[in-house]
Structure formats: C-alpha cells, structure tokens
Amino acid sequence: MSGSEGDEMVAMAVDDCRTKMRKSVGHLQEEFGAIRTGRAAPALVEKLKVDYYGSEVPLQQLAGCSVPEPRLLVISPYDQSSIAAIEKAVQGSDLGINPSNDGQVIRLAFPPLTEERRKELVKVVKQRAEEARVSVRNARRQARHDIESLEKDGEISRDEMDRVEKTLEKATHEVVEEIDSLAAHKEQELLEV
C-alpha cells in the first residue's frame, strides 16, 4: 500500500474518532435538556413518545410547545384529537407533573424543585457527564488501536503514529473540557433557586 493510502486511512480513523466524540457531546446535550431544572423548557417533552393512532410518535411532531412564563409550558396540538394521547404521555413520563387541558392546549405548571430533588439531579448530571467522558475515551482508544495496526503493518511510520496520537489526545482533551463545561453549567442551573 502506498504512503498516501496509509495517510488516507489515518485521516479516516481520526475523522471517525472526532465524529464519535461529537455524537457523545450531542447526546449529552439532549440528555441535559431533558433534565428538569424547575424551569419550563420544550426539550423536557419534545421527545416524549405519544401513542397516536397505534404508532409511537415524538410529541414534537404532534404539537408545538411554548414557554409563556418561566414555570409554565404550553403544548398546542396540531390535531385536537391527539390532546388526550399527549396528556396521557405526559402523565406517564417521569416529569412528575399533572397536565391540565382546556380542550385546546395542555398546560404544565412546574413547581420549584426541592433541595433534595436538586441534589439527586446533580448526581444524575455527574453520572451522564462521566458516561459521555467514557464514550469519548472509548472512541480515542478505538482510533489509537486502528492507527497502531497501520503502524504495525508498515503503512505509516512511528513518527506519524506519534503525531496522530498527539492529535487524538488534543481532541479528546478539548471534548472532555466541553463536557465538563456543559456539566458545570447544568449543575449551576439546577442549584440556582
């Protein structure tokens, strides 16, 4: 195999690693969006599965969500016949909020979080952040393994392998810092009363 093919394979391994790392961060952001902070946010309900005519449909496809006040979320179904199914999905979720509906929209009033619940949620945030860090490190480990194989097969030089490992290490460090920053921000959100 020529050197340029080895370089291409290295570039693919690094790109694949970066893509997996970005997915870990994206997934973490979605999970953090669904963790309740005492404030109303559409992300808390958008992914809820609603039994709509026998199909599981994400709520965001059936209704619009708005936040007219910090502790009030209003769900406006596009099809009024789906209101009962949406209400049932909200009741069955782990939000712990009883929806009220006036036949047109569903209102969710968010009570302030108790101190105990805040602490539980901070633990959840820390756990999710650690899972994301592990996922990022696994992506780096896989890429490193792929690159070491290329070096063993003589497709890239030892110097090239060392250079790529430094690149992977830098990318890992940057993404872990981003995860730490997201986690710190979410904890701050949870702890402000």
CATH 1.10.132.20 in the chain, residue ranges:
3-34+115-191
pLDDT band at 6 (very low <50, low <70, confident <90, very high): confident
pLDDT over threshold 80, residue 143: yes
How far from chain centre, in Å, is Cα 5?
Answer: 35
pLDDT of residue 98: 87
Residue carrying the six token digits 């063993």: 152
pLDDT over threshold 50, residue 30: yes
pLDDT over threshold 90, residue 17: yes
DSSP alpha helix (H) spans, the chain: 3-33, 83-92, 115-152, 158-191
The CATH class given to the 3-34+115-191 domain equals: mainly alpha
CATH 3.30.1360.40 in the chain, residue ranges:
42-109
pLDDT of residue 1: 44
pLDDT over threshold 80, residue 4: no
CATH of domain 42-109: 3.30.1360.40
pLDDT tens for residues 91-126? 888 777 889 989 899 999 888 888 888 888 899 899
pLDDT tens for residues 58-97? 999 999 999 998 889 999 999 989 999 999 999 888 777 8
What mean pLDDT comes out for the span 169-192? 93
pLDDT of residue 169: 95
Letter for the amino acid at 55? S
Which residue, 140, 141, 132, is CA-closest to 181?
132
